[in-house]
Structure formats: structure tokens, C-alpha cells
Structure 1
Amino acid sequence: MLDHLVYAVRDLDEGMDRIEQLTGVRPARGGKHAGRGTHNALLSFGGDQYLEVIAPDPDQADLPSGRGFGLDHPGAARLVTWAAKAPSIAERVKRARAAGYDPGDAWAMSRDLPDGSRLEWMLTRGGGMAGDGLVPFLIDWGNSVHPSTTAPGGVRLISVRAEHPDPEAITAMLAALEVEMDVSRADEPALIAALRGPAGEVELR
């Protein structure tokens, strides 16, 4: 089941402006990913699902390793990947490997919130964007409050689909992760979400 969509942008304020223009609701700043070189803003879809707008953090210029989600050299704003819920993440990783797909080990991550508190979670590799970003990383929020409960709402996620030159390969990886998505054949990979908000219905890709 989908946890959140990842929308990568060059500049966070510009990304927030863009989402507000498209949906009619402005995302709220989430915080900084310390040591990862990124910061984000969030928009809730309700039902423990949300949109993450993520961008390079100018306050974290020097990093021992690169930023994920292609943000070392960001291009045009786009949906780059997504996260799937995995409450028992270690067991999900084990089952996926048994099914022939390795999502990577689960590791801890955190984000400093604007109020000074810290949000913590576990996830598998996400910044590498498996399957051209169409195969999700797994995420386990543990005892943390889910971000969708505090982010601005009013926008609904209608559907998510994908396009890829090799839809069979993508579908096989999704099946190993025990998730489903409509994947159609196309010349270029794309993750496509249909949203409905105060500004009407929009397709985000």
C-alpha cells in the first residue's frame, strides 16, 4: 500500500508554489534530513498517505555522500519515486528477497521538525530509485506519528500508475514487494498520479 509520493524539485519554495498552483493547497515545510542534504514539504492525502516535495538543502552543501533522488544534479520537477508501507519492514525485506528481488537492508533515518522535535523511521534504499523510480522503497514509521496527520489536507489521491519500456520487469519487482500498480508500456519511464483538490483534478508526473 502506498505511503507517500516523492516529488523532487530544484528549490523547495518553488516546488511548494508549483503544488499550490496545481492543487489549490500549499504544502507545509516538514524539516531537514540531517546529513542527507535535503529538506522537504508535505501535503496530506488523508488515510496515512501524502505527497513529499523534496529539494536540496542549501544549508547542507558539503556531504560525505551524495543526495538521493537525483538531487545532486536536479532537473525539472517531477515525481521520482514512491514509498510503500511496511510495518514489519525486516520481514518484508526477507520475503522480497525470497521472491527474487532485493530491496536492500532497512536502515534508520530521521528529520528535524520545525518545532525542534525529531521524527524517526526505518526505510530501505530509496534515493537510488529502483526500476527507474517505479519500484517503491519500503518504509516503517514505528511509533512515530505519521506525517499525513499533521500536513495540510484537502487534496485526494485518485490513482497512481506507471509507464515503462519493460512493464513486465517492473511488475515482477512490484509483485516481489507485495504491492500492485498498473504499469503500461511506453518509451520513457514515468510515475503518474491523479489528484483532486480545490483547484480541480490534475495529473502529476
Structure 2
Amino acid sequence: MTTIALHTAPDHLVITAATLEAGMAWVEQSLGVSMAPRIGGQHARLGTHNALLSLGEGFYLEVIAIDPEAAIPARPRWFGMDQLTASAAPRLAHWVARTSDIAAAVAASPIAPGRIEPMSRGTLDWLITIAPDGALACEGVMPSLIQWLSQPHPASALPERGCRLQQLILTHPDMHKLRAAWQAIGLNDERIVLLEGKEAHLRAVVSTPQGERVLG
């Protein structure tokens, strides 16, 4: 039997916020670039909406918040958003990695990244892993997995702001288990730095026209 090698790569950062406006303002202040005009949309099935910022070819930043105009979903929202309070500060909560075969990647991973679910927004169609309870695997350090079914990649439609991910620095007490999971799904990117620490933490170093900035 022939084994197909999996290929998984960083796809986007996830900034959660109590409101989309607060999240966009935080990103703009942190990076010194504008997110206007907003590019994004609604996820009606999950009751959220988003705004996107290019971080280079094939990679972007997503600000996501509960959509106040959407119906309350009959299921937990993704990215742990049901746990956000009205006073919750925007933060880098999670990241998503794209894979060439999401079913094989989920089966191969020793850390469950969630259940594979189909999603769509406008002309975009994709498969993504979502935990049944909406929680983030390993407090957000283990990425959700995505397989884009539509082309081109969403980052190609975003305005160029001169921002690039330099490093995604991830800290977690179970570093070795995470490293084994990433090896199993074919995730190997020099920008991703995994450290051992007492608590889970995510920090992104981004080059901007104003110099290096940090999101955390």
C-alpha cells in the first residue's frame, strides 16, 4: 500500500474580540496599518463575522467576533467564542494550518484537532476542524486544520499592507506531544517556534512598514 505524504502549512492567525470593531482597532494599533476598508463577511451557521488582513502570499490575519445581527446558533461557536465576555480584550487566540488532505491529517494526528465540517462564505468553500464544544485544542496552540476547496487562496484578494509573519512563537507545557502531532501531519515551517512553558501562550512577530511589531 502506498503512503501519501501529508503537507501542512500555516494558513492564518485568529484574533478573537468581543466586537469586530474592537478587534480591528487593536490590530491597527498593534501593527500600525489600516484594516479599512473591511474585507470579510458573515458565518451565518456559527453566528460570527470577520475581517481579514494580508500577511503575505498564502497567509493572512483574521479578526473574528460574534455577529450581533446573526441568529444564535443551535451549537457552540468555533474558536472558543462562547466563552468571550463583553469586556474581553482582543488577543491572538489561535492559528489555522492548511493541509492537502484534511481527513488523513486528522486521522494521523495524536492530538484531536476537532471534527471536519464544511463551511462556505461567498465564493469561498472549505473544510475545517471544529471541536463539538467549540473549544481550542491545547488552549489554541494546536492549530485547527483547513483544506480549501475553492481557488484562489483568500489572501490573494487582500490589499497589500506590507506586513509579513516573521515568527509565530508558541508556548505549551506539553511541547513534545505537540511536536509529535505536527510531525505526523507534515507541518514543518521555520517561522513556527515551539517552546515549553508552564502555560499556553501565542505570540506573533510581524514585520510592518513601521518595523517589527508583536501580536499576543
- TM, length-normalised to structure 1: 0.87
**Do residues 86 (structure 1) and 93 (structure 2) align?**
no
1:129 to 125, 136, 144: 136
User: 2:117 is matched with which residue?
Assistant: 107
Q: Is the 8 A contact 2:26 2:90 kept in 1?
A: no
Q: Report SS of the residue matched to 1:62.
A: coil
Identity of aligned residues (%): 40
CA-based RMSD:
1.8
Matches within 5 A, 1:1-205: 1-27=9-35, 28-74=38-84, 75-96=88-109, 100-111=110-121, 117-125=122-130, 127-153=134-160, 154-180=162-188, 181-205=192-216
Q: Is the 8 A contact 1:4 1:50 kept in 2?
A: yes
User: 1:114 is matched with which residue?
Assistant: none
Amino acid at match of 2:196: R
Q: Is the 8 A contact 1:37 1:63 kept in 2?
A: yes
Q: Is the 8 A contact 1:161 1:193 kept in 2?
A: yes
In the alignment of these two chains, the number of paired residues is: 197
- Distance apart, 1:161 and its partner CA: 1.5
- Distance apart, 1:119 and its partner CA: 1.7
Q: 2: distance between equivalents of 1:44 and 1:146?
A: 11
- TM, length-normalised to structure 2: 0.83
Q: 2: distance between equivalents of 1:170 and 1:191?
A: 14
